[in-house]
Amino acid sequence: MQLIIAEKSTAAETIAKNLGESRLKSQEFGPVKVWFTKINGEDSVIVPLKGHIKSVVYPDTFKKWDENTLLKMVDSRLDYVPLAEENIEVINKFSGKADKVVIATDYDTEGESIGFEAIDVVREKNKSAKIFRSVFSSLTAKELTDAFRDLQKPNKNLSDSADARREIDLILGAVLTRFISLAAKRLGNSFLSIGRVQTPTLTLIVDRDAERRSFKPEKYSRFMATLESSGSAFIAEHEEGKIFDSKTIERLRKLKNAASGTVESVNRKVRRVTPPKPFNTTDFLRSAAAIGFSVPNAMRLVQGLYMKGYVSYPRTDSQAYPPTLDLGEILRELSKSKTYKKYVDGITGSGALHPTKGKEARDHPPIHPVKIPTGSLSSQENRIFDLITRRFLATLSDESKEEIITVKVNIKGDVFIARGSRVMIPGWREVYTYSKYEENILPDIKEKAKLKIKSMNEVEDQTNPPSHYSQGGILKIMEDLNLGTKATRPEILKKLMERRYISASKTLIPSEVAFAVIENLKKISKDLTGAGLTASLETEMKKIEAGEKSKDDVVDESREMVRTILVDLIKKKATIKELMHQALLKQYVFGKCPRSGGDLKMIISKKTHKRFVGCSDYPKCHFGMPLPQSGYMFISPQTCPKCGIHMIEWRSKENKRVYIFCVNPACKVAKEDKAKAKKKEKKAGAKTEAEKAPSGTNS
Catalytic residues: 313
Which residue blocks in 220-291 are alpha helix, DSSP H? 246-253, 281-290
Give the C-alpha separation, 453 to 259, whole Å: 5
**Complete DSSP assignment for 456-474:** EEEEEEE--PPPPPBHHHH
Report yes or no: 364 and 281 within 8 Å, Cβ to Cβ.
Answer: no
Span between the terminal Cα atoms of the chain, in Å: 59
CB 170, CB 78: distance < 8 Å:
yes
Contact 356, 277 (CB under 8 A): yes
Angle value at C-alpha 50, between 366 and 387, nearest 5 degrees: 30
* Nearest-angstrom CA–CA distance, 645 and 636: 10
CB 486 within 8 A of CB 317: yes
8 Å CB contact between 19 and 136:
no
Residue 128 and residue 68 in contact, taking contact as beta carbons nearer than 8 Å:
no
Q: How far apart are CA 443 and CA 228, in angstroms?
A: 9
- The length of the chain, given as a count of residues: 699
The separation between CA 176 and the C-alpha centre of its own chain, rounded to angstroms, equals 25
DSSP secondary structure code for residue 22 in this structure: S
Are 86 and 23 spatial neighbours (Cβ–Cβ below 8 Å)? no
Q: Is the dihedral of CA 475, 381, 147, 392 positive or negative?
A: negative
Taking alpha carbons only, the member of 137, 120, 138 closest to residue 129 is 120
Please report the DSSP string for 357-414 in residue order: -----SS-PPB-B-S---S---HHHHHHHHHHHHHHHHHTSPPEEEEEEEEEEEETTE
From residue 507, alpha-carbon distances to 451, 471, 501, 530, 636 in Å are: 44, 7, 13, 22, 12
- AA letter at 564: T
Distance CA 684, CA 689 (A): 9
Q: What are the residues whose beta carbons fall under 8 Å from the beta carbon of 209, sequence distance 6 or more?
A: 468, 509, 510, 515
Cα–Cα distances in Å, from 393 out to 102, 275, 277, 311, 348? 35, 10, 11, 14, 11
* Cβ pair 165, 171 in contact under 8 A: no
**Measured between alpha carbons, how far is 554 from 165 in angstroms, rounded to an integer?**
9
Name the DSSP class of 240.
T
Comparing C-alpha atoms, which of 230, 287, 285 is closest to residue 263? 230
Please compute, for residue 538, the number of CA atoms within 13 A of its CA located in the half-sphere on the CB side.
17
Task: Give residues with Cβ within 8 angstroms of 474, minimum separation 6.
Answer: 201, 204, 205, 493, 508
